[in-house]
Chains A and B, each alone.
Chain A
Amino acid sequence: MKHLRYATALVVALALGVTGCGRDEGGSGSGGQPAGKEIAAGKAKGEITVWAMGAEGEKLTELAADFSKENPEAKVNVTAFPFDAAHDKIATAIAGRQTPDVSMMGTTWMGEFAKTGAIDSTPTGLFDKSKFFEGAWNTTVVDGTSYGVPWYVETRLIFHRKDLAAKAGLQKPTTWQHFTEFANGMKDKGGAKWGAYLQPGGTGSWQSFMPFAWQAGADIMQDGKFTLDTPEMQKALEYYASFFKQGLSPTQLAPGAMETGFVKGEIGAFVSGPWHMGILREQGGAAIEGKWDVAQMPREKAGTSFIGGSDLVVFKDSKNRDAAWKFVQFLTTPAAQQKLYDLVGSLPSVQESWQSGKLADDPFLQAFGEQLKDAKSAPAIATWEQVADVIDDGIERVVRGVSDPATATKEMQAKASSIGTGS
């Protein structure tokens, strides 16, 4: 009994300790900060610690070497780690105040981490935001303040079998109606089992769906409030689900089956990002060389696609802030961005990088470059991952016929509103 009493006392003491320090309203981390102060002119000096994930992380040292050539007194230490570990690693670093100077940051994490108050706002006058793709720049803006710069981008296009389309006498789809006809034609005359594959739900399916929502004139938020139950959103969900209802897209597909189906000609088209160019070349090889193409997103009210990728941020606790921002600036020069494309195939966020070299010559890449001019991202709110999960869930319910679009959008709106924006 005595032990129990001690334990209770301890818990109460802890609870009181917690009550003793309430949230200070409008204090640190509540966003809406002024733009960061300017950085000093001149060359970068000292050590800069940089965290980066995935393939970019592995090759970043080569870009860092170029930077050191230009700034002999600066030393860049790159730590590369896998994307899976990144979110927790950054969160832990922020909690322990052991952040690096610079980090690569997934665009959909910006809202969450900017809210912690650990990220430095972008210094005035260092970057010209009109040089970046607009959709990409918007991923850095949280509550009206920019907290970094876009590094590389990706967007979604319609991959399709050119040969099957020719057999069926189909042109690249340009409108929603065309896209439906296109998928039907691929199936009926082109000989594909599935006209056009769309992700039937599950993690990340919002990235496939949201382009159609934007095309219908819907949006995730407006003036700080969720707008997931608008008639436009319903219309988009209905259109998306029509592909499953008409048997144009499978509601269940094992991982990896989409690529093999496309190579075999069983799947006529699918919506995905630039990485699928590499996958198709690797898996299809000579068999489908020259038999596929990419098309811009179809238009309804707009022809918008999704923009993803990664941003670069500088942490507030950086001991070498000026040099850190100079390194970020270096990474967003057209030359460094083109080199990044050469090294790992990441698409540049700076529009100028697309006007020369390989990126200007390749018709597939130019198609992506064209679509990037009309591409939107998720809103940079702290609760985004959770709201995305709600949207994924709504999509799956409608696709599987568990809910109708009207009910699903209402549920999405109610759930998202109860989650809130985290501000």
Chain B
Amino acid sequence: MASATAQRPARTGGNRGARVRRREGIAGWGFALPFLLVFAVFMAGPVLASFAMSFTDLRSADLRDPLGVNPIGLDNYVKLFGDDTFRQAALNTAYFVVVGIPLTMVLGLAAAVGLDAGITRFRTFFRVGYYLPVVTSIVAIAVVWRLLLEPESGIVNTLLGYLGIDGPNWLTDTRTAMPALIVMAAWRNMGFLMVIFLAGLQAIPRDLYEAAAMDGSNAWSRFRHVTLPMMRPTLLFGGVITGIGYLQFFEEPFVMTQGGPLDKTLSVAFYIYNQFGFGNYSYAAAISYVLFIAILVLTLVQFRLLRSKT
């Protein structure tokens, strides 16, 4: 009732108010129109078309006549779960995500805490140093890392050689290829998280730390009971962003290993890329939607785990 009476004055304002509002509405839509058109044509259209495509048997041979295909219902999705290579790719991606996200977040947080509290000299230098990999082209990074990991003369194996360890051929050994890529990805992405986490740390009121110190808590317990709870929303953001990126993990194997050895670094996104390359457009579209759902699920799980407990 209350809301009904509250609205009445606006309505009694007469037709004039409504007309103004309508005109404002039209103007609003007018301003939004360019974006909406671009979005509809280049985003929503292809997204819906590819979704419909995933229920057909469209292949590259149908390029000239893309509508002349047969609907095959869920066949692509059913086929997917019996596909050994896809299962391998899904496992690889899960491995990358499960190890990669925590590693990247710990490294990013460590760098942020270090810069926030410990390192006061050369702060800018370190900040630039950690952030540089984020803005460097993956192609350049690949060249450098391949040199580092080169089995005969690379720095990593040379250093290991001093310790008397015969280092493996990192990128072609089935056991070390994925860990090598995870470390590389963590190094490449930690800078971004560092910047986000640094902002989060600086937003924590200093008096909380003072109060905790007064109560006699040491540095670790201050970190554990003040920093981490206060950082929860920032950590959530970092985890979600990294998770979305890591589930679509593609560039690292693309430039470093081509998915090898024995498909051990083949990611789901890379498999989609391959299937598009083979001309299996509808099948590739189906995998893309499965990956999309996986991203959605991972994000929801993270929201569950890290939401603020108030």
Contacts and interface: CB of A to CB of B under 8 A. Distances in A.
Given A254-B150, A386-B280, A27 B68 contact: yes
Interface stretch (A34-42, A67-75, A110-118, A320-328): A110-118
Interface in B57-80: 57, 59-71
Interface stretch (A10-18, A129-137, A335-343, A344-352): A10-18
A15 B279 contact: no
B151 interface: yes
B69 A18 contact: yes
B261 A396 contact: yes
B260 interface: yes
A389 B278 contact: yes
A291 interface: no
Nearest to B151: A254
A91 interface: yes
A400 interface: yes
A115 B61 contact: yes
B161 interface: no
Q: Interface extent on A, as a size class?
A: 35 or more
B172 interface: yes
A128 interface: no
A189 B55 CA distance: 62
A385 interface: yes
A180 B116 CA distance: 64
A18 B70 CA distance: 8
Contacts of B48: 10-11, 14
A19 B277 contact: no
Contacts of A27: 68
B169 interface: yes
B67 A18 contact: yes
Interface of A: 10-11, 14-15, 17-19, 21-24, 27-29, 87, 91, 94-95, 97, 112, 115-118, 201-203, 252-254, 257, 382-383, 385-386, 389, 393, 396-397, 400, 402, 422
Nearest to A12: B52
B62 to A, nearest CB: 7
Given A94-B64, A202-B260, A396-B261, A252 B71 contact: no
Nearest to A422: B61
B69 A383 contact: no
Contact of A21 (B53, B68, B260): B68
B-side interface mostly:
loop
B24 interface: no
A143 B263 CA distance: 33
A347 to B, nearest CB: 27
A15 B49 CA distance: 9
A402 B61 contact: no
Interface residues of B, number: 39
A23 B61 contact: no
A339 B83 CA distance: 49
Contacts, number: 112
Contact of B65 (A29, A383, A396, A397): A29
B173 interface: yes
A87 B63 contact: no
A252 B157 CA distance: 16
A396 B261 CA distance: 8
A400 B57 CA distance: 35
Contact of A87 (B49, B59, B277): B277
A11 B60 contact: no
Contacts of A11: 48, 51-52
B68 A91 contact: no
Contacts of B173: 252
Contacts of A389: 274, 278
Contact of B63 (A14, A95, A202): A95
B87 to A, nearest CB: 14
Contacts of A116: 60-64
B262 interface: yes
A24 B70 CA distance: 9
A29 B64 CA distance: 9
B189 interface: no
A140 to B, nearest CB: 17
Contacts of B227: none
Given A10-B48, A11-B52, A18-B55, A252 B64 contact: no
B61 to A, nearest CB: 4
25 contacts: A11-B48, A14-B49, A15-B55, A18-B52, A18-B56, A18-B67, A18-B69, A18-B71, A21-B68, A22-B71, A23-B68, A23-B70, A28-B64, A87-B277, A94-B63, A94-B64, A95-B63, A112-B61, A116-B64, A252-B169, A254-B150, A382-B279, A393-B262, A400-B174, A422-B59
B302 interface: no
B299 interface: no
B63 A385 contact: no
Given A22-B68, A27-B68, A118-B64, A202 B49 contact: no
A386 B283 CA distance: 13
Given A14-B49, A396-B262, A382 B67 contact: no
Contacts of A422: 59, 61, 279
B232 to A, nearest CB: 31
Interface in B250-281: 258, 260-263, 274, 277-280
B51 A201 contact: no
Contact of A202 (B64, B65, B71, B258): B258
